[in-house]
Amino acid sequence: MDHIIMRRRALSIFLNGRKFLFLPEDRYVTKISRSKSFTYLIVDGNDFIFIIHEAQDDSSLANERNIVTMDPESELLKIVSGDKVYSMHDRVNSLKTDFLDPSPVFRKPFDDEIPLIREGFERMVRSFNDSLDMISIGKSEREIRAEIDYRLIRNGFDDFVFSTVVSSGIRSSVPLSRTGERVIEKGDVIIVDMSALYKGYEISISRVLFTEINDDLKKIWDFYNGVFEISSRNFYQGKRCGEIDSIAREYLGSGGYSYPHYTGYPAAGFSSPYIFPESNDYLERNSVFIFSPGIYVKGRYGFRVKRAILIGDHGFTIMDE
């Protein structure tokens, strides 16, 4: 069975007869629809009603049974008139809805989705590797971003989850930085952070590059890589994510380093697991997540490598190698 149909059926069972409304920008939409060209998507039992503006047209909706064109009087209100509608939003335009969190349906991928997710990470790694010859001293961060984005699109990515980040030199020491106009110089550390949609799945990796490396920098880099070695010993089914967070932070803390963001978060647009101090999420079979602690040396440089992890029957695999 098509994985989108499987996810729709799971969602219908979860809703238990309740109507539910999605907007195109909702994070789970790509798991249940091949298009984001609708204005509203109403889930009603096993039916999916796409409501679109007249100007919208998308061939990927051609096989959908229920497509309604919105008229000036608002076809949406006609369809749901007298019925209770739930949403991830407490108010959609003039329609009042009750909040409902559908994330349990999107906790982890089905077995059939794993090859697609793997393919997405393989293509992102390929896109980055194909860009390496274009990353050099004298190029601006913005120029490098354009080269990477071009290759992502050529390799089949549909859209960007966030703008590709190229952060160099002192700017790499700022957690979760953004691309600027800075020109790459000798001695710079460069962080490249990519996140884009591949066949509906949010694929994200980051890499660290060196224009040159000395003994002190290599020592810190080797220490940083140890956090994955230590933490990954706990990447198995049943492990509580809050404990993994503690292991990572304690290890980096032993070297005098800390970071102000999550240690890990769900990969491919799923809702679990999150790895942070108070997390009560547990790793389970088919959990997919990004492991991404960081080191930031104020005023000098920073390291943050995202590793994409899949939990299997026996241990884990790295999807972005």
> What is the C-alpha to C-alpha distance for residues 110 and 105, in angstroms, rounded to an integer?
11
Which residue stretches of the chain have pLDDT < 70?
Answer: 1, 55, 57, 71-75, 77, 81, 93-94
pLDDT value of residue 26: 92
Fold observed for domain 3-106: Creatine Amidinohydrolase; Chain A, domain 1 (3.40.350)
User: Which residue intervals of the chain bear CATH 3.90.230.10?
Assistant: 111-318
Angstrom distance (rounded) from CA 129 to CA 121:
12
Query: Options 3.50.50.60, 3.90.930.12, 3.90.230.10, 3.40.50.720; which CATH number does 111-318 get?
Result: 3.90.230.10
Per-residue pLDDT reduced to its tens digit, 177-225 = 999 999 999 999 999 999 999 999 999 999 999 999 999 999 999 999 9
Whether the Cβ atoms of residue 165 and residue 192 lie closer than 8 Å to each other = yes
What integer pLDDT is reported at residue 295 of this predicted model? 96
Enumerate the CATH 3.40.350 domain ranges in the chain, comma separated. Answer: 3-106
How many residues belong to the chain? 321
pLDDT of amino acid 74: 63
